[in-house]
Amino acid sequence: MSPSEPRIIRLLMELRRMGVADTRTLSAIERIPRELFIAGPFLDQAYENTALPIDCGQTVSQPLVVALMTQALDVGERMKVLEVGTGSGYQAAVLAQLCRRLYTVERHKPLLAQAEARFKQLRLHNITARMGDGSRGWPEQAPFDRIMVTAAAPDIPPALVDQLKPDGIMVLPLGDVGGQDQELVRVTKTADGIDIHPFLPVRFVPLVEGLPEE
């Protein structure tokens, strides 16, 4: 048993108690070593159910939020998935276990480089990452079966809805970008438009248009 294994088991038990029932989601979280995505000073908290800071003023999400977003996205193994906001790469690594191909967009060059190095270390060859404005999605690779957005927007970005396949699902935090009054929603694209189902109050960093100045 590795030193981190008891902590992983404890975290998985906590996630189950808090409503994560999907065995594929739990298995994906079990297989990805979260400590690989955590900055040195916070390594002892790698398997605590808490969000932790990373570079560029961003965070690696609380494991419960990662698990509930992944579960709500309902990813099939033959699906093509877009993630907006690579961050540390942790959520992408979890999703990559579940889909055929994952495309992920990050606006901060240092974060993108770190995440790509982690994907390579974990031999996650079905992830394609690039620097870009996530609110615009990845039109060259559209349409997508599923889209996950890991930053909060006041409204659902129309470009992302356009890049969803019919009956496709998007999961994202919506609400006040100041950090208060946000909610995770599951958006399903229908013949008549979109169905929106809120399912969890959260606090995410804002989805910012454009790229940061170097």
What is the secondary structure of 110-160 as a DSSP string?
A: HHHHHHHHHHHHTT-TTEEEEES-GGG--GGG--EEEEEE-SBBSS--HHH
Let me know if 27 is a catalytic residue: no
Pair 103, 85: CB distance under 8 Å? no
User: What's the one-letter identity of residue 172?
Assistant: L
Nearest alpha-carbon partner for 59 in 91, 28, 32: 91
- Torsion (CA) 182, 186, 189, 191 in degrees, nearest 10: -100
Cα distance between residue 119 and residue 35, in whole Å = 14
- Active-site residue identified among 2, 4, 27, 61: 61
**3-class SS of residue 206:** strand
What distance in Å separates the CA atoms of residue 136 and residue 12, rounded to the nearest whole number? 34
Q: Which two tokens stand for residue 174?
A: 């919506």
Tokens standing for 112?
A: 């993108």
Q: Give catalytic residues, as residue numbers.
A: 61
